[in-house]
């Protein structure tokens, strides 16, 4: 149980640090947020807990494919934010991401990659 608490604390700490840095520097906060810190941490946790290497590799493989359909949201969010406010922009961005994900998964299926 202590290990689980430690994982939660460190993982949450990364998110808090990034949000605090972003308040002071959008560029540095964006850079830190763009780094796959949570993904790297999850793979470290899997390794420490002796998950099979195939599972860790699978995590990295699917993370790559899941990131791609999220990218359009980051392009349109600043435009939406200026016009619709934070919450509506987040909702539209989430809907866009979901739509892009489903379209992307249909395209990848043609190449033998099953995301769903």
Classify 114 in phi/psi space as left (phi over 0), alpha (psi -120 to 50) or beta. Answer: beta
Compute CA distances 98 → 11, 63, 80, whole Å: 25, 15, 17
**pLDDT on residue 88:** 97
Rounded distance, CA 16 to CA 82, Å? Answer: 25
Task: Pick left, alpha or beta for residue 52 (phi over 0 → left; psi -120 to 50 → alpha; otherwise beta).
Answer: beta
Domain coordinates in residue numbering, the chain: 1-51, 63-116
3-state SS class at 14: helix
Q: Is the pLDDT of residue 50 over 90?
A: yes
Of 5-9, 31-35, 66-70, 92-96, which range is least confident? Answer: 31-35
pLDDT at 49: 94
Helix (DSSP H) and strand (DSSP E) numbers for the chain:
6, 0
Nearest to 74, CA basis, from 22, 24, 34, 28: 34
Residue-wise pLDDT for 4-39, tens only, equals: 888 889 888 988 999 999 999 989 988 888 878 888
């Amino acid at each position: 149980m202590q290990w689980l608490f430690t994982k939660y604390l460190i993982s949450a700490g990364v998110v808090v640090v990034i949000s605090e840095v972003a308040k002071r520097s959008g560029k540095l906060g964006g850079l830190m947020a763009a780094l796959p810190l949570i993904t790297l941490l999850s793979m470290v946790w899997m390794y420490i807990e002796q998950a099979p290497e195939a599972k860790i590799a699978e995590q990295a493989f699917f993370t790559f494919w899941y990131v791609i359909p999220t990218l359009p949201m980051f392009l349109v969010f600043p435009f939406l934010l200026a016009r619709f406010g934070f919450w509506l922009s987040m909702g539209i961005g989430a809907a866009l991401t979901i739509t892009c994900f489903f379209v992307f998964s249909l395209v990848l299926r043609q190449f033998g990659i099953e995301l769903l």
